[in-house]
């Protein structure tokens, strides 16, 4: 909360409370250059929420100082330098043709809508001319995930050589690989590093794809939990749904702003109410509920009443509490489609469970039931709290950035929008994973190998999402059935890794 009795420094520190444990002063004096249009500005604003305060304003980015002050009015240490001082420059395709940056650049290009690959990020050395990359009038709308990946790569470059440099930073961009392609029609979270010319060739070899058509407005969506996942997902869904019912028992706190979809003037307000009011601008009917769901007989009855009253077509569960088990039972009983999402420690990894109404495996078949292969190392918070009384399903208050939890929220919104469609209109990647009953998805902002050289969860690169399913349920006895959906569990295969839908070579 903004407390007038607290002095300005205390408010400023409260703003960074959820990210300070991650980076400390690592971003001090690391200058981020910004050049081009909206995508580059958005990237810079995301990084400011991670703690970056020094910027160099390049062509097209003149609005940045004002945007930064509006995003975080408690910060008084903004520092603006010239591009020569920048450690790295973020740019998008609105950056001027022929511009040669005095500092190395990461440039995002959104590819034409009929291309199978959606976005490209090129690392360009200082003073090198921009490579010409195919651009067309029929660009895809810029996907929030592409901006997110640009920001994540930029963060790694800013931290290069510091103790905070992410260990996996060089998996994608590392000589001779200077181009990253992202977002394949076959699997929206496909990501790979290439040599520049090889990236050109790879794009040309892909068949045209027409699946990126505009989405028509449809469906009533209930979002339970409007924190770092629910609020961002609701914001992404708002332009495409008929109604949003937003439910959360809490008020906006100053420390929420770095990771959640709230604005400074909303601090102190009910989260659901502030969000419902603002998202109504997108044309959806919005409604706010200030309530907590509880796993008690009374709580279960009230949640059932809520479902019968609002009759949502889709529910999104992002409370991070054990009450999601009871909520999922109520949804399944009514045949309501739902997606439950949660981040693991520090949002290094995250999980989505998709349930297609009354079809396929249910939430109970999959949550905490799936063998996901080698686990990553513990975070400092997990070490500190290592405690045998910890209950599975309960979320610890972990520090994380908007880049990391935001990537989960965007995947959640994309999966939810697709699940809202009737089966015949769904993207092949959704139909295929539902058909294979691989509806527990794990995503990564981080990649880590254990001492035996095995990747945590089988994910060898940050940005990937992989799928697990009924054949990965741990220790299912022959003939054992789920107590909720009655589905017979298959004998476990223990493949030790999730599957990514293949996207060509």
CA 80 centroid distance within chain: 29
User: Any contact of residue 364 with Zn ion (CB under 5 A)?
Assistant: yes
CB of 370 to Zn ion, least distance (A): 12
User: Any contact of residue 490 with Zn ion (CB under 5 A)?
Assistant: no
Nearer to Zn ion, 30 or 367 (CB): 367
User: Any contact of residue 365 with Zn ion (CB under 5 A)?
Assistant: yes
Q: How far apart are CA 248 and CA 271, in angstroms?
A: 7
CB of 121 to Zn ion, least distance (A): 40
User: Any contact of residue 370 with Zn ion (CB under 5 A)?
Assistant: no
Among 345, 482, 501, 503, the residue binding Zn ion under the rule CB under 5 A is 482
Which two three-digit tokens encode residue 309? 């009253």
The rounded radius of gyration (Å) of the Cα atoms in the chain is 22
User: Any contact of residue 484 with Zn ion (CB under 5 A)?
Assistant: yes
CB of 365 to Zn ion, least distance (A): 4
**Burial degree of 421 (CB within 10 A; 0-12, 13-18, 19+):** middle
Strand order in the sheet with 314-317: 285-289, 243-247, 220-224, 314-317, 337-343, 349-355, 440-444, 465-468
Nearer to Zn ion, 218 or 487 (CB): 487
CB of 485 to Zn ion, least distance (A): 3
Nearer to Zn ion, 492 or 496 (CB): 492
CB of 437 to Zn ion, least distance (A): 11
Count, residues in the chain: 505
Q: Of 12-20, 177-185, 242-250, 361-369, which segment contacts Zn ion by CB under 5 A?
A: 361-369
Q: Of 145-153, 274-282, 456-464, 475-483, which segment contacts Zn ion by CB under 5 A?
A: 475-483
**Bridge partners of residue 55, in order along the sequence:** 32, 80
Q: Of 226-234, 316-324, 371-379, 483-491, which segment contacts Zn ion by CB under 5 A?
A: 483-491
Nearer to Zn ion, 28 or 488 (CB): 488
Q: Of 66-74, 138-146, 203-211, 480-488, which segment contacts Zn ion by CB under 5 A?
A: 480-488
Omega before 244 within 30 of 0, i.e. cis: no
The residue whose Cβ lies closest to Zn ion is 482
Which two three-digit tokens encode residue 113? 């809508």
107: helix, coil or strand?
Answer: strand
CB of 366 to Zn ion, least distance (A): 8
CB of 372 to Zn ion, least distance (A): 18
CA distances from 1 to 5, 263, 396 (A): 11, 13, 21
Nearer to Zn ion, 251 or 487 (CB): 487
Q: CA-CA-CA-CA torsion for 171, 176, 179, 182, nearest 10 degrees?
A: -40
Q: Of 22-30, 300-308, 362-370, 390-398, which segment contacts Zn ion by CB under 5 A?
A: 362-370
DSSP characters for 441-459? EEEES---B-TTSPBGGG-
Q: How far apart are CA 288 and CA 286, in angstroms?
A: 7
User: Any contact of residue 485 with Zn ion (CB under 5 A)?
Assistant: yes
Nearer to Zn ion, 152 or 336 (CB): 336
Among 45, 362, 442, 444, the residue binding Zn ion under the rule CB under 5 A is 362
Residues 50-79 that bind Zn ion (CB under 5 A): none
**Residue 374 and residue 383 in contact, taking contact as beta carbons nearer than 8 Å:** no
Nearer to Zn ion, 106 or 365 (CB): 365
Nearer to Zn ion, 306 or 362 (CB): 362
Q: CA-CA-CA-CA torsion for 394, 400, 403, 408, nearest 10 degrees?
A: -10
Q: Of 82-90, 232-240, 302-310, 356-364, which segment contacts Zn ion by CB under 5 A?
A: 356-364
Strands (E), 232-360: 243-247, 285-289, 314-317, 337-343, 349-355
Q: Of 2-10, 20-28, 86-94, 478-486, which segment contacts Zn ion by CB under 5 A?
A: 478-486
Q: Of 233-241, 292-300, 363-371, 397-405, which segment contacts Zn ion by CB under 5 A?
A: 363-371
Q: How far apart are CA 22 and CA 346, in angstroms?
A: 9
Nearer to Zn ion, 395 or 484 (CB): 484
- Are β-strands 179-184 and 187-194 bridged in parallel, bridged antiparallel, or unpaired? antiparallel
| 374-389: b (≥16 Cβ within 10 Å) or e | bebeebeebeeeeeee
**Residue 307 and residue 335 in contact, taking contact as beta carbons nearer than 8 Å:** no
User: Any contact of residue 354 with Zn ion (CB under 5 A)?
Assistant: no
User: Any contact of residue 244 with Zn ion (CB under 5 A)?
Assistant: no
* Residue ranges binding Zn ion (CB under 5 A): 362, 364-365, 482, 484-485, 487
């Amino acid at each position: 909360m903004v407390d007038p009795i607290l002095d300005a420094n205390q408010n400023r520190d409260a703003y960074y409370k959820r990210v300070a444990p991650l980076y400390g002063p690592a971003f001090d004096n690391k200058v981020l250059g910004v050049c081009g249009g909206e995508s580059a500005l958005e990237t810079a604003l995301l990084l400011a929420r991670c703690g970056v305060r020094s910027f160099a304003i390049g062509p097209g980015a003149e609005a940045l100082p004002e945007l930064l002050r509006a995003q975080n009015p408690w910060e008084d240490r903004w520092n603006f330098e010239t591009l020569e001082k920048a450690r790295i420059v973020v740019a998008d395709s609105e950056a001027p043709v022929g511009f040669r940056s005095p500092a190395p650049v990461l440039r995002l290009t959104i590819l034409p809508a009929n291309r199978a690959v959606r976005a490209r990020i090129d690392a360009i050395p200082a003073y090198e001319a921009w490579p010409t990359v195919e651009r067309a009038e029929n660009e895809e709308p810029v996907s929030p995930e592409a901006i997110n990946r640009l920001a994540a790569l930029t963060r790694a470059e800013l931290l290069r050589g510091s103790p905070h440099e992410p260990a996996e930073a060089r998996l994608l961009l590392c000589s001779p690989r200077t181009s990253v392609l992202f977002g394949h029609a076959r699997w929206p979270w496909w990501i790979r590093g290439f040599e520049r010319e090889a990236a050109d060739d790879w794009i040309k070899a892909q068949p045209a794809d027409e699946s990126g058509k505009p989405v028509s407005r449809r469906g009533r969506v209930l979002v339970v939990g409007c924190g770092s996942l629910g609020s961002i997902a609701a914001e992404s869904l708002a332009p495409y749904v008929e109604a949003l019912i937003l439910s959360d028992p809490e008020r906006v706190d100053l420390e929420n702003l770095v990771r959640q979809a709230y604005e400074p003037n909303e601090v102190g307000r009910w989260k659901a109410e502030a969000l419902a009011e603002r998202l109504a601008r997108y044309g959806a009917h919005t409604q706010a509920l200030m309530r907590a769901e509880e796993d008690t007989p009374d709580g279960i009855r009230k949640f059932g009443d809520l479902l019968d009253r609002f009759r949502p077509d889709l529910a999104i569960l992002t409370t991070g509490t054990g009450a999601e088990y009871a909520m999922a039972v109520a949804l399944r009983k009514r045949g309501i489609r739902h997606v439950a999402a949660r981040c693991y420690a520090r949002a290094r990894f995250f999980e989505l469970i998709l349930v297609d109404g009354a079809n396929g495996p249910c939430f109970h078949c999959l949550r905490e039931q799936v063998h996901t292969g080698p686990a990553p190392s513990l975070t400092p918070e997990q070490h500190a709290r290592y405690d045998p009384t910890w209950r599975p399903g309960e979320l610890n208050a972990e520090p994380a950035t908007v880049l990391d939890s935001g990537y989960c929220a965007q995947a959640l919104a994309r999966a939810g929008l697709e699940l809202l469609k009737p089966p015949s209109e769904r993207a092949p990647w959704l139909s295929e994973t539902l058909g294979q009953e691989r509806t527990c998805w794990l995503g990564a902002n981080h990649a880590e190998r254990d001492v035996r050289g095995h990747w945590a969860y089988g994910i060898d690169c940050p940005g990937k999402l992989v799928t697990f399913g009924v054949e990965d349920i741990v220790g299912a006895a022959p003939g054992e059935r789920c107590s909720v959906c009655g589905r017979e569990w298959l004998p476990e295969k223990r493949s030790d890794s999730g599957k990514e839908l293949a996207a060509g070579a």
